[in-house]
């Protein structure tokens, strides 16, 4: 049976309704899950096993029959651990049917079908009694209901229901307890993701809207691999504070709560950012601990376990405040049943009423809803902004483009034509990006007239706030219209002499989705002057073969897992990874995931924005020799934009460090990653190479790719 599924085409701002098999959603859920990452998390698995053995032994020591309830069993791994540890029976609950089916196969394959019952329900729908889901209440409760924020997957309501309805009084829970920690810091880098900063240009400042500076931002957590933020990027203002703990062996409440921790400021600074993580005590004695602490808290950072299904959290205070060394402070965390938020007070001003729930931050300026955190960081990037300003003020040579016979890339003959100025006094500019400040830059740099297409009403309102904050209302005309609908009348009879874009579009996921700019340029061809300048004038697709330090784990398969045979799960993951959609590149912010370049970075395809989108596909094929030895896990792919023939901006690889080829990536964008099903060991000789084939389909705007590793 087939079903019709909607599929976005961000590069062309289109949408298709296509027929897919009935297992389409199932394959996508599995392929993009973190099951492989969790199976590979040996630290997690070991600590759970030790905690389960301690819990089973404790209940047996009381002379009781051990009945286990495992909520969110996934593969059934924790249930099998419990039976191996001596549990008499286990009820394993899994709401996702394909996963429940896989767990049943795994349980049977390992011979535990007589002692483990898989229940394909949400735990809150389970009934207890003779002939029902569970015959009796459990005295051991095992769960893995946590996310980076600890409670974001509904752990508290699930525990609350379980204690009321599914487990006995005095049950032993694994994990036994969770503890949340926080540390107050000052960080220009992290704060640049929260608030738009003034932008210096032409001897003046472009100011952010006052409403944004007075806004507490969104309450959503910023979850990142905090280990990849250098301690040199922030100043510690206080010690690590223990904020609160939840004892899972006792009744749990999902009601809103608040907790405070008092401390003395270690240094003076701007209090703006809170770093947070949590630990799990697997047993009541607290001797078996699974910690999410970042690596720089370890005496030996290399000993920190890596995991991607649980990371660390960054929270931004509702309003920054200046604090002095030695000042008595109180850091408060509040939570509802799904999220946390922080606030800071001087101890002398701390609320006298104990458990007061402070208001949860919410965006009132709309800017935090229009610009996500990486985008705000991108707008605050001074080097990037300077590149665009220099390009607008620059002179450049008209380029002669030609394509080589195999279509590998384009070249430009800069010396053949005279230099032209990008922005002139009579320039009529049109900006095509989402929520971009480039049109404002063009006006401040002296353009005669500036228009900007803003199709989203909220985005338009935010840019209007920027214009108002700088007394520029009316100087840049914002048009709520698509490129296809734009007419000369909308432009006051003018023709466009300068088309500008970053390009940035909120619907883009993969790098080439921003080629939507090219389609806009094509739709606007009739409104462009014959000598119109396009900025950027081209984009180049780059690739490099890499060895990941850890990211490979999210798409890898393990042969054993704590001694249990989980091949049915591996087969399910493999089947999903082999599914058509999952064979494509996927977006990842590679600055969070260290890797080494095993080949040179190479430009493999160029998109010439000075021309319209071609009718025929663009094809590029060739090979990239290995220059370093290592285990090649896949390819990283990104775009670099030629703003002019002399100024370029990369949204991918920014630097290679040292002889080992350590990669430094843009923090503001996600790069495309194509994982090989199984990696290749390479000796780094030029006899081995990655053979590639890229096809750009102008109808869909998609870039299809295929790779192989061979010896020359």
SS3 state at 158:
helix
20, 23, 64, 153: the active-site residue: 153
**Are residues 79 and 144 in contact, defined by beta-carbon separation less than 8 angstroms?**
no
What's the burial of 222, exposed, middle or buried (CB within 10 Å: 0-12/13-18/19+)?
A: buried
Q: Are strands 595-597 and 528-535 parallel, antiparallel or unpaired?
A: unpaired
Question: Which residue pairs from 480-487 have beta carbons closer than 8 angstroms and sit at least 24 positions apart in sequence?
Answer: 480/454, 480/455, 481/453, 481/455, 482/453, 482/455, 483/432, 483/453, 483/519, 483/520, 483/523, 483/524, 484/523, 486/453, 486/523, 486/524, 486/527, 487/527
Q: At what angle do helices 97-109 and 567-577 cross, to 10 degrees?
A: 140
**Under 8 Å between Cβ of 119 and 151:** no
282, 288 in Cβ contact below 8 A? yes
CA neighbours closer than 13 Å in the CB half-sphere of residue 170: 5
Q: What CA–CA distance (Å, rounded) separates 436 from 505? A: 9
CA pair distance 366, 215, nearest whole angstrom: 9
Q: What does DSSP assign to residue 190? A: H
Cα separation, 484 vs 497, in Å, equals 18
Is residue 676 within 8 Å of 707, Cβ to Cβ? yes
SS3 292: coil
- Determine whether 153 is an active site residue: yes
Q: How far is CA 630 from CA 593, 654, 688, in A?
A: 17, 21, 12
Q: What gap in Å lies between CA 83 and CA 76, rounded to an integer?
A: 11
Please state, in angstroms and rounded to a whole number, the distance separating the CA atoms of residues 467 and 471.
Answer: 6
Least Cα distance to 114 among 141, 79, 139 occurs for: 79
Residue whose pair of structure tokens reads 């699974």 in the numeric block:
290
Strands 222-224 and 312-323: antiparallel
Q: How far apart are CA 622 and CA 707, in angstroms?
A: 10
**Cβ neighbours of residue 172 under 8 Å, at least 6 residues apart?**
55, 58, 59, 139, 140, 141, 249, 284
Q: Decide the pairing of beta strands 671-682 and 586-588.
A: antiparallel
CB 15 within 8 A of CB 8: yes
Nearest to 390 by CA among 639, 192, 653, 649: 649
Local structure of 281: helix, strand or coil: strand
- For residue 445, give the nearest of 390, 408, 492 by alpha carbon: 390
Report the first-to-last Cα separation within the chain, whole angstroms. Answer: 45
Rounded Cα–Cα distance for residues 522 and 535 (Å): 14
94 included as an active-site residue: no
Q: Are 311 and 224 in contact (CB under 8 A)?
A: yes
Q: Are 341 and 333 in contact (CB under 8 A)?
A: yes
Active-site residue identified among 144, 454, 570, 592: 144
Active site residues: 144, 153
């Amino acid at each position: 049976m087939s079903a019709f599924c909607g599929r976005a085409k961000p590069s062309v701002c289109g949408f298709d309704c296509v027929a897919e098999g009935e297992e389409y959603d199932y394959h996508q859920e599995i392929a993009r899950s973190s099951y492989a990452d969790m199976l590979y998390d040996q630290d997690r698995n070991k600590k759970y096993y030790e905690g389960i053995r301690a819990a089973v032994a404790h209940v047996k020591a009381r002379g009781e029959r051990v009945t286990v309830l495992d909520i969110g069993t996934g593969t059934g791994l924790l249930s099998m651990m419990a039976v191996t540890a001596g549990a008499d029976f286990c009820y394993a609950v899994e709401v996702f049917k394909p996963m429940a089916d896989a767990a049943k196969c795994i349980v049977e394959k390992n011979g535990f079908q007589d002692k483990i019952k898989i229940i394909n329900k949400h735990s809150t729908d389970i009934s207890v009694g003779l002939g029902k889901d569970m015959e009796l209440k459990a005295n051991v409760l095992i769960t893995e209901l946590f996310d980076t924020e600890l409670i974001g997957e509904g752990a508290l309501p699930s525990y609350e229901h379980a204690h009321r309805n599914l487990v006995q009084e005095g049950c032993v829970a694994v994990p036994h307890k969770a503890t949340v920690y926080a540390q107050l810091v000052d960080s220009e880098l992290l704060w640049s993701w929260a608030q738009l900063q003034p932008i210096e240009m032409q001897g003046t400042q472009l100011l952010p809207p006052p409403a944004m500076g007075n806004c507490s931002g969104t309450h959503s957590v910023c979850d990142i691999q905090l280990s990849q933020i250098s301690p040199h990027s922030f100043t510690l203002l206080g010690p690590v504070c223990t904020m609160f703990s939840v004892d899972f062996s006792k009744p749990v409440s999902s009601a809103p709560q608040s907790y405070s921790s008092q401390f003395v400021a270690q240094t003076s600074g701007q209090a703006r950012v809170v770093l947070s993580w949590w630990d799990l005590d697997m047993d009541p004695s607290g001797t078996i601990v699974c910690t999410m602490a970042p690596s720089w808290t370890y005496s030996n950072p290399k000993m920190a376990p890596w995991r991607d299904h649980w990371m660390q959290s960054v929270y931004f205070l509702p309003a920054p405040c200046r604090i002095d060394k030695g000042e008595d402070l109180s850091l408060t965390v509040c939570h509802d049943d799904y999220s946390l938020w922080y606030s800071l007070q001087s101890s002398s001003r701390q609320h006298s009423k104990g458990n007061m729930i402070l208001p949860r931050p919410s965006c009132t300026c709309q800017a935090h809803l229009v610009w996500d955190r990486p985008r705000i960081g991108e707008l605050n990037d001074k080097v990037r902004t300077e590149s665009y300003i220099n390009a607008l003020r620059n002179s450049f040579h008209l380029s002669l483009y030609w394509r080589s016979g195999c279509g590998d890339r384009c070249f430009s003959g800069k010396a053949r034509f005279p230099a032209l100025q990008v922005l002139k006094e009579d320039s009529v500019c049109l900006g095509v990006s989402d929520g971009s400040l480039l049109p404002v830059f063009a006006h401040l740099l002296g353009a005669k007239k500036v228009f900007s297409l803003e199709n989203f009403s909220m985005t338009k309102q935010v840019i209007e706030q920027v214009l108002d904050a700088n007394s520029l209302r009316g100087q840049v005309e914002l048009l709520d219209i698509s490129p296809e609908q734009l007419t000369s009348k909308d432009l006051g009879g003018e023709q466009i002499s300068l088309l500008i874009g970053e390009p940035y579009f909120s619907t883009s996921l993969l790098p080439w989705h921003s080629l939507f700019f090219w389609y806009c340029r094509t739709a606007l061809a009739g409104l462009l002057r014959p000598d119109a300048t396009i900025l950027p004038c081209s984009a180049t697709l780059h690739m490099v073969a890499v060895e990941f330090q850890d990211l490979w784990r999210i798409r890898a398969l393990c042969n054993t897992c704590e001694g249990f045979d989980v091949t049915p799960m591996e087969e399910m993951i493999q089947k999903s990874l082999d599914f058509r959609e999952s064979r494509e590149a996927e977006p990842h912010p590679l600055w969070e995931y260290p890797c080494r370049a095993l080949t040179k970075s190479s430009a493999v395809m160029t998109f010439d924005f000075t021309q319209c989108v071609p009718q025929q596909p663009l094809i590029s094929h060739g090979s990239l020799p290995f220059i370093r030895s290592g285990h090649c896990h896949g390819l990283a792919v990104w775009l670099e934009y030629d703003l002019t023939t002399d100024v370029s901006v990369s949204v991918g690889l920014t630097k290679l460090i040292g002889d080992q080829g350590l990669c430094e990536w843009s923090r503001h964008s996600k790069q495309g990653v194509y994982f090989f099903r199984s990696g290749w060991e390479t000796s780094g000789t030029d006899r081995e190479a990655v053979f590639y084939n890229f096809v750009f389909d102008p109808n869909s705007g998609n870039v299809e790719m295929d790779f192989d590793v061979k010896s020359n």
